[in-house]
């Protein structure tokens, strides 16, 4: 089971999906596009204490974290 974790002003929400389920995979990819097009940055764990920024949907990522862009001022 893979998970997408969305961090925002309310805390976080988790969206689990089965990568072998075509419909769930399509929904996860759509969520990825909506969030990244909306200004969120996506990152996946690549190893213990290591992360990598994702610029496109990776169906093999076990955990993808989305965090909003920082707003200064």
Query: Is 73 within a domain?
Result: no
- Sign, CA dihedral 31-59-63-40, equals negative
The helix/strand/coil state of 33 is: helix
**pTM, two decimal places:** 0.89
In a domain, 44, yes or no: yes
Note the pLDDT of residue 72.
66
Asked whether residue 59 is domain-assigned, the answer is yes
- 32 assigned to some structural domain: yes
> Does residue 9 lie in a domain region?
yes
What CATH number does residue 44 fall under?
3.10.20
Instruction: Answer whether residue 72 is part of any domain.
Output: no
Q: How many domains in the chain? A: 1
Tell me which residue range forms the domain holding 13. Answer: 2-67
Tell me the pLDDT of the chain (73 aa) as tens digits: 999 999 988 899 999 999 999 999 999 999 999 999 999 999 998 888 899 999 999 999 999 999 998 766 6
């Amino acid at each position: 089971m893979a998970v997408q974790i969305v961090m925002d002003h309310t805390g976080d929400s988790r969206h689990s999906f089965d990568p072998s389920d075509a419909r769930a995979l399509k929904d996860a990819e759509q969520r990825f596009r909506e969030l990244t097009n909306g200004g969120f940055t996506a990152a996946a764990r690549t190893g213990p204490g290591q992360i990598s920024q994702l610029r496109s949907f990776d169906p093999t990522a076990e955990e993808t974290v989305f965090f909003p862009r920082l707003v200064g001022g």
